[in-house]
A and B are shown apart, each in its own frame.
Chain A
Amino acid sequence: SDGQEQKIAEAFDIDKDQAGDYLMSPEYAKDIFDYLKHREEKFVLTDYMHTQPDLNEDMRGILVDWMVEVQENFELNHETLYLAVKLIDHYLSVTVAMRESLQLIGSTAMLIAAKFEEQCPPSLDDFLYICDDAYKRQEFIAMERNILQGLKFDINIPVPYRFLRRYARVARASMETLTLARYVC
């Protein structure tokens, strides 16, 4: 499109298998990944935990484990889970939070990520239920606003899994390899 990109040798063109499948949009795949790579540099996280008086790494770990369960429960895409974790980390880099609100932050991040990524995001009722009614609807809606405003709506954050999926395709890796590789990213 901009004339300076190099032509890919046909033998290495992994997108050509999908030519004609407009849902996969192979003609744009390279541009999209160039863009994601470029954008990734804007979202480098710093170690924020020492700025959080009431939180520590273990709590974050417990929260992420719970979010994995939520993802499985709602059958969400891996990208949604990864994005939600990104949202939490970026939000906690700019806002001080107390441990009581950590689960609310985690599930609201999951809600936002699902609205952004999923074809059929779970409803707010589903989130109230998985939190065992620990939080009220209005608290969710207020937290959604806090996160969106804290991140200035810049929530289209590239996640490692998207790259991993593509690299696995390039390497023609099996599903087992791809799944194992997730533990590294």
Chain B
Amino acid sequence: GEVCSPTLVSFMCCKFQRIDVSKQMSLPMDIRLPPEILKKLQMQSPEPCKPLSRMSRRASLSDIGFGKLETYVKLGKLGEGTYATVFKGRSKLTENLVALKEIRLEHEEGAPCTAIREVSLLKNLKHANIVTLHDIIHTDRCLTLVFEYLDSDLKQYLDNCRNIMSMSNVKVFMFQLLRGLAGELKLADFGLARAKSVPTKTYSNEVVTLWYRPPDVLLGSTEYSTPIDMWGVGCILYEMATGRPLFPGSTVKEELHLIFRLMGTPTEETCPGITANEEFRSYLFPQYRAQALINHVPRLDTEGIDLLTTLLLYDTRKRISAEASLRHAYFLSLGEDIHSIPDTASVFSLKDIQLQKDPGHRSSFDCFFPNSGRGKNRRQSVF
């Protein structure tokens, strides 16, 4: 088929990843500066050939505008979360588009712990499937994180192809998502390796929205752990393959009901400990039997169905991990080389990995149905 340019490389911001010092992004070091700024930098340095010392480098980077709010022009709101608002913006330094994540600072408590953790961990990350942090602006009212701007997120992408994605693209995107997550999970575990004191409540409240929440969290588990993300990944695989969200519940009860109706009401066998869970018992759900997933995702092949099934297991100990899923038979067709590309390189650096034209892609549709407005606002996913 026709090959599209690989623009949609990074997904949602998978957050943390294990890093090597060699890959460490000393914040603005790897930013491509326009020639006139480089010239200015060299003029300020007494000996142009001598590498700048840390101190003078920091001073000059601030002179040219890093760490300053004036350096960025706000263009419009992209989204709003519980603790931050994200704007589209442009850097006056590089003329590049950026995403500005504004974290409001509480006057009572100073910087929120989520922000401190996010910034200190993200600062050290560089991975082709994790959104890059370019700059940090810290004023007394606001902490603004400057990220690379992504042309399109998954929701826009799905809208754009009228929810009919090429199944080969679904596979490539899944692989990218898991690649980003395989890294994230390692660092999320950082906290966990220490002891039993895991930063939990804030995590589970803010990280996973209702549609992508696993039953263990919906039923009151406040432990943020790696299997939580993998349930959400399963939901995303379904959503890409069908164009519809998997469990679009609007309340916890409805969410659980949708899950149990498809996956079967959990039993002691599928979900050890469930019969003792007071919350579960209080809902008095009917005894649904698990349905065959293949009837709901007919476009997904056998291996894909198998991956989806292991992502959507109730038992968190049996749910597949990001690393194990990268080795799942579903991805065999992507070849062996995909496992040895460096973290910082995109999967599209391999010549065999290319995006196909999506069957529902807007431009091809528009020739036939120019004013149909199909696909617009038909879905409301939270990607």
Contacts and interface: CB of A to CB of B under 8 A. Distances in A.
Interface stretch (B90-98, B103-111, B245-253, B258-266): B103-111
Interface residues of B, number: 47
11 contacts: A22-B225, A22-B227, A31-B186, A39-B21, A42-B21, A77-B197, A115-B117, A141-B105, A142-B140, A148-B116, A153-B116
Contacts, number: 108
B110 A140 contact: yes
Contacts of A42: 21
Interface of A: 1, 3, 20, 22-25, 27-29, 31-33, 35, 38-39, 41-42, 77, 79, 111-112, 115-119, 121, 123-124, 137, 140-142, 144-145, 148-149, 152-156, 162
A32 B140 CA distance: 34
Interface in B314-365: 316-317, 321, 323, 340
A35 B20 CA distance: 7
A116 B189 contact: no
A166 to B, nearest CB: 8
Contacts of A119: 197-200
Nearest to A137: B108
Contacts of A1: 182, 186, 323
Pairs A-B, 10 closest by C-beta atoms: A115-B113, A25-B189, A28-B189, A141-B110, A119-B197, A144-B110, A153-B119, A25-B192, A155-B120, A32-B193
Given A38-B20, A116-B120, A79 B323 contact: no
A77 B198 CA distance: 12
B194 interface: yes
A135 B156 CA distance: 50
A7 B21 CA distance: 24
B379 to A, nearest CB: 32
A62 to B, nearest CB: 25
A29 B193 contact: yes
A35 B18 contact: yes
Contact of A152 (B20, B27, B182, B189): B27
Contact of A22 (B20, B190, B317): B317
Contact of B116 (A24, A116, A149): A116
Interface string B17-46: 011110000010000000000000000000
B136 interface: yes
Contacts of B195: 77
Interface in B213-228: 223, 225-227
A31 B18 contact: yes
A32 B120 contact: no
B24 to A, nearest CB: 8
A20 B193 contact: no
Interface string B172-190: 0000000000100110011
A161 to B, nearest CB: 10
A115 B323 contact: no
Contacts of B123: 152-154
B193 A28 contact: yes
Nearest to A145: B138
A137 B106 CA distance: 12
Contacts of A112: 116
B111 A115 contact: yes
Nearest to A41: B21
Contact of A148 (B20, B138, B198, B199): B138
Interface in B199-241: 199-200, 223, 225-227
A124 B196 contact: no
**B117, B119, B193: most-surrounded residue (chain A CB, <10 A):** B193
Contacts of A25: 189, 192-193, 225-226
A117 B140 CA distance: 23
Contacts of B196: 23
B111 A148 contact: yes
Given A25-B192, A31-B186, A79-B194, A124 B108 contact: yes
B216 to A, nearest CB: 11
A33 B193 CA distance: 9
A153 B198 contact: no
A162 B190 CA distance: 11
Contacts of B121: 156
B124 interface: yes
Contacts of B192: 22-25
Interface in B266-282: none
A23 B225 contact: yes
Interface string B129-165: 0000000101010000000000000000000000000
B185 A144 contact: no
B339 to A, nearest CB: 8
Contacts of B138: 145, 148-149
A39 B192 CA distance: 18
B314 to A, nearest CB: 14
Nearest to B321: A27
Interface string B44-81: 00000000000000000000000000000000000000
